[in-house]
């Protein structure tokens, strides 16, 4: 062991490591810790929307069902004063902090600019539930009203359901206030029918004020504007953004929109009917009579990579929107993280509990799986995927000969500088290049000259293919996908800046068919268009849900391709309208429909409204490419059908305790449970199994043999209705529902149970999909829930803990297969302890050896072995090796000192552990670093387990150990399998201290 504490000597050693010294500085925290950053702090007291009066002398402020907060009440003022005093006390404990925002309505706490050490000091306080570093999120960027059925004879508009007196809060990049879609002008109460009626006064339940325009000192083009009875409020929140960024020279330091994203989402959700669009058509929002309140949180910086929306600014907007009394929030903003544990998730939870419907964009990182990002992964918001409606078209290659393959083949135009619109129609022979991938000069250039070149994808860059085809005289290039994705098409950049011919991509199956034919003749033209109606957009993020795989995400789909709506003239060359793509465009469609639901059903909770949209959605969509049906990870329940959502028959409701119980089962941070313990919730009958959360979808991420889930439905249909159940069972799974018949009158609820049992036909480890539908007599109501299941061979705990130099422990496993069962052990390996201490501003470097034949090496710090042992210190860990190059092989940086780096089958040799003092108490902070090296069965533990697995059976595994040295720790790894393959692993940690 060698510990070096001199900063100067440490720097020299780092330089000598070569590649170690070249490590990305973003991975090292010594320099980062000296910077001040914005942190969001959650305090222990409940926010105003959730406080139920448990403090003597302070009356409850939580509004009754279907009521709004009353900021003018004495209860509100007194409790707000109490919260303010508590916040000031906490802030005063870190004198170096500068307050950026304070929150009290949907979240209790503040955001402040402070050092990492100050943040750690706050984490240690008992009156602080959580501290998060602020995050930069990004905006996720005509005639859809007809496509969604709003305007027809059975549509809601005809019956006056147009969002009258409902307030939609748009948290985005601001708004162009002079836009005609937001003008205070008379419009028909029945949407597109009847006489125009002026807007009435601002609804009584909305108490917000402020109209933040006219900051001409910052930007002379920022003209004053008075809000009106359509655009009833506009505020901006920039404090966090401006602590780390400057604004682009065209940006406005006000609620005025520069980029156009916010104007687009606002006018899509609630823009006036009757506004003439850019091509002469009539435009409208989904809820044309709704009022709009704008909260600008997204900003453009000089560097586009720095543009975005900080969570702390967004939370200030959420807090204010709930206090103002909005009915619906649209949040077309998100991040790339697929987990949820942030403060904005908590704020939206309390907003939902206060009765605010929240629609969020699912994200634009598709078509890859598990790309649904925060905050759309949480179950209390409605996450919206983007689909293509009847106005969406792709380019087509029309083949005229030979007759046996003559057809129009769907394609997507490449992103080069020359388009089909530039050159017009091209009619020519379609000739396969030689070589087929066009990765070298074409040997059949004479045949290619003047024709359309057909090229297979792969082997080289698209630009190489393009340039080789162009050099041979091709008039256009058609690239067909390779066999790895036979039905996929990608809009691709296939050319250099000076190229002169266009190109498109088609499917592998289509391209192979054409390539196998001779004397093909075809036409490429901008006028050849193939409808892409009812396809999920290629960019739309997909499930499974990385944060909670039992919760199906997205929830629903809505139009999000080529959506024409309002924009800012600043970003569009003076135009007031733009066609945009993105789940950002899909989300406001749902927000607008939620406004319509709120008008008709003011007593519905957000969970009930979400349920109605889900159970009535259309499921017959297709994947982005090919003819395969879309699954729930593409579209959730399906495409929204607003006219049906008003009368769903049955709804699935969920309350705050339901969500808290879900968080317990998902093992999220305890501060989300807001003082209510998980055991208390279980004692009250709430299930902490996330599969049991009362949603209108059903997901089980680990189905080992058999599992039973429960759901509760509530009737919202008139009179008394009979319902019977039908199931489209997922492949390889038997489904049993009990009871199979329900009889309910309006307001009554019933619980049913669904048992899923995997069969021998199940594909273990693969997701399989189906649905469950409750039908009323005559099928007037069809209440459909999507199902997503993943059968697995076994479920076993990821980790177990034991104590003492000798002892025993046991745990249960459940089998999803029948056959041989074996448990193999590596270890128990006693850890080698490396004690040390870090001074403020210094970091320790420890060298250790990993021996030959090591299966797994673990390098770890434990909170109990750092400083006071209470987790208040934050040491991080980086591991480099082996010598002599010492590349970075692993790092760990949690909010405490519980850090772990695991290396499987590592190269033997000398390694270095860099213990980083991210934020620790003043003075030397002692620690003990452990290194565990597993090499087969160490002979100090005995296993007792069954030798055979039976589908659905639950069995016990026992471990007895002896002879461990006191005062240390030992690590083991149990591998569960059938003797030929490993299905699961359980880590064993024994503490002998």
Residue 301: closest CA among 248, 262, 263: 248
Q: What is the rounded distance in angstroms from the CA atom of residue 561 to the CA atom of residue 394?
A: 11
Among 331, 184, 203, 198, which Cα is nearest to 271's?
A: 184
Q: Give CA–CA dist 202/165, Å, rounded.
A: 8
Q: What is the pLDDT of residues 812-825, one digit of tens each?
A: 999 999 999 999 99
Nearest CA-CA partner of 122 in 90, 157, 95, 152: 90
pLDDT at 344: 86
From start to end of 667-767, where are the E strands? 698-703, 706-715, 720-728, 733-738, 741-745, 749-758
The more confidently predicted of residues 341 and 681 is: 681
Options 172, 300, 345, 555, the catalytic residue: 172
Q: What is the pLDDT of residues 396-424, one digit of tens each?
A: 788 888 888 888 887 777 766 777 877 88
Q: Does position 976 have pLDDT exceeding 80, yes or no?
A: yes
Boundary of a domain, candidates 758, 792, 826: 792
What's the CATH code of the domain at 193? Answer: 3.40.50.200
Residue 671 has pLDDT above 60, yes or no: no
**Which position among 176, 179, 261, 589 bears the catalytic label?**
261
Name the phi and psi angles at 359, rounded to 5. -110, 130
Assigned token pair, 479: 């690239």
10 within a domain of the structure (yes/no): no
Q: What 8-state DSSP symbol labels residue 985?
A: E
Sign of the dihedral through C-alpha 255, 260, 265, 267: positive
Indicate the pLDDT class of residue 12, thresholds 50, 70 and 90. Answer: very low
pLDDT tens digits, one per residue of 108-167: 999 999 988 888 788 878 888 888 888 887 765 544 556 566 666 566 766 767 879 999
Considering the domain boundaries, does residue 768 fall inside one? yes
Are 969 and 833 part of one and the same domain?
yes
**541 within 8 A of 583, measured Cβ to Cβ:** yes
870 domain-assigned: yes
> What distance in Å separates the CA atoms of residue 367 and residue 918, rounded to the nearest whole number?
37
Tokens for 980, please give them.
Answer: 């030929």
Tokens standing for residue 126:
């008992």
Residue 687 inside a domain? The answer is no
Q: Tell which residue, 534, 558, 553, has the closest CA to residue 640.
A: 558
- Closest among 309, 308, 317 to 358, alpha carbons compared: 317
Same domain, 165 and 270: yes
Same structural domain for residues 217 and 287?
yes
What single DSSP character describes residue 830?
A: E
Burial of 930 (0-12, 13-18, 19+ CB in 10 A): buried
Asked if 121 and 164 sit in the same domain, the reply is no
pLDDT at 18: 32
Residue with tokens 């939620």: 594
Residue 172 known to be catalytic: yes
From the candidates 311, 312, 525, 584, which is the catalytic residue? 584
Return the C-alpha torsion angle 557, 563, 569, 572, nearest 10. Answer: 110
Q: What is the pLDDT at residue 8?
A: 27
- Whether the ω angle into residue 554 lies within 30 degrees of 0, i.e. cis, is yes
Whole-angstrom CA distances from 498 to 200, 442, 463, 470, 502 are 57, 20, 12, 11, 12
Q: What confidence score (pLDDT) does residue 668 get?
A: 55
Reported as type and span, the H/E element at residue 244 is: helix 239-244
Task: Check if the beta carbon of residue 489 is closer than 8 Å to that of residue 466.
Answer: no
Q: Are residues 808 and 754 in the same domain?
A: no
Is 16 a member of any domain?
Answer: no
| Residue 92 φ then ψ, to 5° | -65, -20
- Three-state SS string over 775-820 comes to EEHHHCCEEEEEEEEEECCEECCCEEEEECCCEEEEEEEEECCCEE
Residue 665 has pLDDT above 90, yes or no: no
Is 789 in contact with 700 (CB distance < 8 Å)?
A: yes
**Residue at 439 is within a domain:** yes
Note the pLDDT tens digit of each residue in 872-927.
888 889 999 999 999 999 998 887 889 999 999 999 999 999 998 887 777 788 99
Q: Which two tokens stand for residue 549?
A: 């795989």
| pLDDT value for 280 | 63
What is the dihedral angle through the alpha carbons of 947, 950, 951, 957, rounded to the nearest 10 degrees?
A: -40
Q: Specify whether the CB–CB gap between 352 and 607 falls below 8 A.
A: yes
Residues 814 and 748 in one domain: no
Q: Is 261 a catalytic residue?
A: yes
Q: Are residues 74 and 168 in the same domain?
A: no
From 133, 167, 200, give the residue that closes a domain. 133
CATH number, domain with residue 46: 3.30.70
- Domain of residue 485 covers 394-522
Does the structure show a pLDDT above 60 at 733?
yes
Q: CA 865, CA 153: separation in Å to the nearest integer?
A: 71
- Burial of 70 per CB tally in 10 Å (0-12, 13-18, 19+): middle
The percentage of residues in the chain with a pLDDT greater than 70, rounded to a whole number, is 88
Angle between helices 583-600 and 606-615 (to 10 degrees): 110
Over residues 696-723, mean pLDDT: 96
> What average pLDDT does the chain have?
87
Cα(468)–Cα(887) distance, integer angstroms: 40
Question: pLDDT of 172-191, one tens digit each?
Answer: 999 999 999 999 998 888 76
- 553 has pLDDT over 90: yes
Q: Which helix (H) or strand (E) holds 383?
A: strand 382-388
| CATH at residue 507 | 3.50.30.30
CA-to-CA distance for 918 and 615, rounded, in angstroms?
49
As a whole number, mean pLDDT of residues 506-515 equals: 85
- Catalytic annotation present for 555: no
List the structure tokens of 566.
């309002």
pLDDT at 933: 97
Phi, psi of 355 (to 5 degrees): 95, 10
**CB-based contacts of 332, cutoff 8 Å, min separation 6:** 139, 140, 141, 172, 261, 265, 360, 361, 582, 583, 584, 585, 587, 588
653 pLDDT above the threshold of 80: yes
Sign of CA dihedral 299, 303, 305, 311: negative
CATH number at 820 reads: 2.60.120.380
Return phi, psi of residue 933, to 5°: -125, 115
**Of 623, 645, 667, at which residue does a domain stop?**
645
Query: pLDDT category, 951, cuts 50, 70, 90?
Result: confident
Tokens representing 370 are 């598990």
Report for 503-507, 627-631, 756-760, 972-976: range of highest mean pLDDT:
972-976
Q: Please tell me whether residues 313 and 450 are part of one structural domain.
A: no
- Report the domain count for the chain: 5
Q: Are residues 440 and 475 in the same domain?
A: yes
**By the 8 A CB rule, do 495 and 518 touch?**
no
Q: What is the rounded distance in angstroms from the CA atom of residue 268 to the CA atom of residue 566?
A: 8
CB 917 within 8 A of CB 31: no
* pLDDT single digits (tens) 263-303: 999 999 999 988 887 666 778 888 999 999 999 999 999 98
Residue 32, pLDDT above cutoff 90: no
For residue 293, is it within any domain?
yes
pLDDT computed for residue 841 by the predictor: 65
What value does the mean pLDDT take over residues 10-36? 34
Which is nearest to 707 in space by CA: 753, 755, 752?
A: 755
Question: Both 241 and 337 in a single domain?
Answer: yes
Q: List pLDDT tens digits, range 210-227.
A: 999 999 999 999 999 999
Tell whether 588 and 447 lie within a shared domain: no
Region for 705 from its dihedrals, namely left if φ exceeds 0, alpha if ψ lies in -120 to 50, beta otherwise: left
- Asked if residue 659 is part of any domain, the answer here is no
Binning pLDDT at 50, 70 and 90, where does residue 499 land? low
Q: Of 965, 854, 867, which is closest to residue 911 (Cα–Cα)? A: 854
Which helix (H) or strand (E) segment holds residue 12: the answer is helix 7-16
For every residue of 254-280, DSSP letters joined together read SSB-SSSHHHHHHHHHHPPTTEE-TTS
Task: Identify whether the C-beta of residue 312 lies closer than 8 Å to the C-beta of residue 38.
Answer: yes
Query: Is it the case that residue 6 has pLDDT exceeding 50?
Result: no
**Rounded Cα–Cα distance for residues 593 and 610 (Å):** 11
CA nearest to 724, candidates 738, 709, 703, 708 = 738
Q: Do 352 and 224 reside in the same domain of the chain?
A: yes
CB atoms within 10 A of CB 67: 11
pLDDT of residue 19: 31
What distances in angstroms separate CA 59 from CA 47, 48, 79, 412, one per listed residue? 13, 11, 8, 62
- Give the separation between CA 940 and CA 959, rounded to whole angstroms: 10
Radius of gyration of the chain (CA): 31
- Gap between the Cα atoms of 899 and 892, Å rounded: 5
Contact partners, residue 931, CB within 8 Å, separation at least 6: 831, 832, 834, 848, 850, 857, 858, 859, 860, 913
User: In this structure, what DSSP letter does residue 93 have?
Assistant: T
Max mean pLDDT range (410-424, 539-553, 720-734): 720-734
Beta strand spans in 517-646 (E) = 521-531, 535-536, 556-559, 563-566, 577-580
Residue closest to 785 by CA, chosen among 775, 772, 776, 774: 772
- Kind and range of the H or E element at 253? none
Q: Look-up: residue for tokens 């404090």?
A: 239
């Amino acid at each position: 062991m060698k510990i070096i504490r001199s900063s100067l000597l440490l720097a020299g050693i780092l330089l000598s490591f070569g590649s170690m010294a070249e490590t990305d500085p973003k991975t090292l925290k010594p320099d980062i810790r000296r910077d001040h950053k914005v942190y969001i702090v959650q305090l222990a007291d409940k926010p105003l929307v959730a406080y139920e009066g448990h403090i003597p002398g302070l009356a409850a402020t939580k509004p009754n069902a279907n009521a709004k907060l009353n900021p003018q009440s004495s209860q509100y003022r007194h409790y707000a004063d109490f919260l303010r005093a508590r916040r000031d006390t906490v802030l005063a404990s870190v004198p170096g902090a500068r307050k950026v925002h304070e929150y009290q309505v949907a979240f209790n706490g503040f955001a402040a600019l402070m050092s990492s050490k100050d943040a750690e000091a706050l984490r240690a306080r008992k009156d602080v539930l959580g501290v998060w570093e602020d995050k930069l999120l990004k905006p996720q960027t005509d005639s859809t009203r007809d496509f969604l059925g709003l305007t027809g004879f059975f549509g809601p508009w005809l019956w006056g359901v147009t969002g009258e007196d409902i307030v939609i809060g748009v948290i985005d990049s601001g708004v162009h206030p002079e836009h005609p879609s937001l003008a205070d002008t008379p419009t028909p109460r029945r949407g597109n029918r009847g006489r125009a009626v002026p807007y009435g006064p601002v609804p009584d339940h909305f108490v917000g004020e402020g109209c933040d325009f006219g900051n001409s000192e910052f930007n002379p083009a920022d003209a004053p504007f008075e809000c009106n009875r359509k655009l009833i409020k506009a505020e901006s929140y920039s404090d966090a953004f401006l602590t780390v960024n400057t604004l682009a020279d065209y940006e406005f330091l006000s609620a005025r929109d520069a980029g156009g994203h916010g104007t687009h989402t606002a006018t899509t959700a609630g823009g006036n009917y009757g506004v003439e669009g850019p091509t002469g058509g009539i435009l409208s929002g989904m809820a044309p009579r709704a009022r709009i309140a704008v909260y600008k949180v997204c900003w453009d910086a000089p560097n586009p990579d720095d543009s975005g929306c900080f969570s702390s600014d967004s939370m200030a907007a959420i807090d204010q929107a709930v206090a103002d009394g909005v009915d619906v929030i649209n949040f077309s903003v998100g991040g790339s993280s697929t987990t949820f544990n942030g403060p904005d998730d908590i704020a939206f939870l309390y907003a939902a509990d206060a009765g605010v419907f929240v629609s969020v964009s699912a994200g634009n990182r598709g078509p890859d799986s598990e790309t649904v990002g925060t905050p759309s992964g949480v179950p209390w918001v409605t996450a919206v995927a983007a689909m293509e409606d009847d106005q969406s078209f792709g380019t087509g290659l029309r083949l005229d000969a030979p007759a046996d393959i003559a057809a129009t083949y769907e394609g997507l135009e490449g992103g080069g500088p020359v388009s089909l619109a530039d050159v017009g129609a091209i009619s020519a022979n379609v000739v396969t290049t030689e070589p087929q991938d066009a990765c070298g000069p074409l040997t059949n250039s004479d045949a290619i000259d003047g024709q359309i070149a057909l090229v297979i994808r792969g082997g080289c860059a698209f630009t190489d293919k393009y340039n080789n085809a162009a050099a041979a005289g091709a008039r256009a290039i058609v690239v067909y996908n390779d066999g790895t994705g036979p039905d996929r098409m990608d809009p691709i950049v296939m050319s250099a800046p000076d190229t002169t011919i266009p190109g498109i991509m088609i499917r592998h199956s289509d391209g192979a068919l054409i390539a196998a034919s001779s004397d093909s003749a075809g036409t490429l033209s901008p006028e050849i268009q193939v409808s892409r109606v009812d396809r999920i957009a290629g960019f739309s993020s997909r499930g499974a849900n990385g944060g909670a795989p039992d919760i199906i995400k997205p929830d629903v789909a809505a139009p999000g391709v080529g959506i024409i709506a309002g924009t800012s003239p600043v970003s569009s060359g003076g135009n007031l309208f733009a066609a945009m793509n993105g789940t950002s465009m899909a989300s406001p469609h749902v927000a607008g429909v939620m406004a319509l639901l709120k008008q008709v059903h003011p007593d519905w909770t957000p969970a009930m409204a979400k349920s109605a949209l889900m159970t009535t959605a259309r499921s017959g969509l297709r994947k982005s490419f090919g003819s395969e049906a879309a699954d729930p990870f593409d579209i959730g329940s399906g495409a929204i059908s607003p006219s049906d959502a008003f009368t769903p028959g049955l709804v699935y409701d969920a309350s705050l305790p339901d969500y808290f119980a879900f968080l317990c089962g998902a093992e999220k941070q305890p501060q989300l449970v807001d003082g209510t313990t998980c055991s208390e919730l279980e004692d009250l009958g709430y299930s902490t199994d996330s599969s049991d959360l009362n949603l209108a979808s059903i997901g089980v991420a680990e189905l080992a043999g058999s599992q039973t889930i429960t759901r509760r439905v509530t009737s919202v249909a008139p009179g008394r209705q009979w319902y019977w159940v039908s199931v489209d069972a997922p492949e390889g799974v038997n489904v049993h529902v009990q009871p199979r018949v329900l009889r309910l009158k309006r307001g009554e609820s019933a619980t049913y149970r669904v048992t899923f049992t995997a069969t021998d036909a199940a594909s273990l480890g693969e997701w399989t999909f189906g649905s469950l539908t409750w039908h009323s007599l005559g099928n007037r109501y069809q209440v459909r829930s999507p199902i997503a299941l993943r059968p697995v061979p076994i479920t076993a705990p990821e980790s177990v803990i034991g104590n003492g130099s000798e002892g025993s422990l046991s745990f249960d496993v459940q089998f999803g297969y029948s056959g041989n069962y074996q448990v193999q052990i590596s270890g128990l390996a006693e850890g080698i302890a490396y004690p040390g201490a870090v001074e403020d501003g210094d970091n320790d470097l420890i060298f250790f050896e990993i021996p030959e034949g090591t299966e797994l090496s673990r390098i770890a710090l434990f909170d109990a072995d750092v400083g006071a042992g209470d987790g208040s210190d934050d040491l991080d860990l980086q591991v480099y090796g082996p010598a002599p190059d010492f590349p970075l092989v692993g790092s760990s940086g949690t909010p405490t000192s519980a850090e772990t780096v695991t290396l499987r089958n590592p190269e033997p040799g000398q390694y270095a552990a860099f213990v980083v003092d991210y934020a620790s108490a003043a003075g030397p902070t002692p620690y003990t670093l452990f290194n565990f090296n597993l090499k087969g069965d160490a002979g100090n533990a005995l296993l007792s387990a069954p030798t055979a697995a039976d589908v659905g059976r639950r069995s016990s595994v026992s471990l007895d150990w002896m002879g461990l040295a006191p005062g240390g720790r030992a690590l083991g790894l149990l591998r569960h399998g059938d003797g030929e393959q490993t299905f699961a692993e359980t880590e064993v940690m024994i503490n002998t201290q």
